[in-house]
Amino acid sequence: MGRRTARIRRIKRSFGRFDRPVTMTWGRAEKSLAYLTAELGPWHPDTVSARRTLQTWLMNSGDTAGAVRMAQEEVDARTAEFGPEHADTVAARLTLARRRRAAGDMAGAITEARLLVEDLTRTHGHDHEETHVARRILAEYLCESGDAAEGIRRLTALYTESRALGPERLKATQLLRTTLIMALERNGDHEKALALLDEAIAEGRGTADSRDDNGESADAARQLLQDWRARLVRQAGGAR
pLDDT above 90 coverage of the chain, percent: 77
Reported as a single tens digit per residue, the pLDDT across 149-204 is 999 999 999 999 999 999 999 999 999 999 999 999 999 999 999 999 999 999 87
Reported as a single tens digit per residue, the pLDDT across 116-137 is 999 999 999 999 999 999 999 9
For residue 84, pLDDT over 70 is answered with yes
The number of C-alpha atoms within 13 Å of 58 and in the hemisphere containing its C-beta is: 22
pLDDT confidence of residue 236: 81
User: Residue 240 — very low, low, confident or very high, per pLDDT cuts 50/70/90?
Assistant: low
User: Residue 21 — very low, low, confident or very high, per pLDDT cuts 50/70/90?
Assistant: confident
> Helix axis angle, 170-186 relative to 148-164, nearest 10°?
160
For residue 211, pLDDT over 70 is answered with no
Residues 164 and 125 sit within 8 Å (Cβ to Cβ): no
User: Residue 29 — very low, low, confident or very high, per pLDDT cuts 50/70/90?
Assistant: very high
pTM exceeds 0.95, yes or no: no
For residue 213, pLDDT over 90 is answered with no
pLDDT confidence of residue 214: 56
Return d(Cα 172, Cα 49) in angstroms, integer: 26
With CA atoms as reference, report the closest residue to 71 among 96, 52, 47.
96
pLDDT confidence of residue 31: 94
Return d(Cα 236, Cα 190) in angstroms, integer: 6
Amino acid at 38: A
Return d(Cα 51, Cα 59) in angstroms, integer: 13
For residue 8, pLDDT over 80 is answered with yes
pLDDT confidence of residue 206: 56
Mean pLDDT throughout 45-71? 95
Mean pLDDT throughout 98-114? 96
With CA atoms as reference, report the closest residue to 138 among 169, 119, 111, 159.
111
pLDDT confidence of residue 14: 85
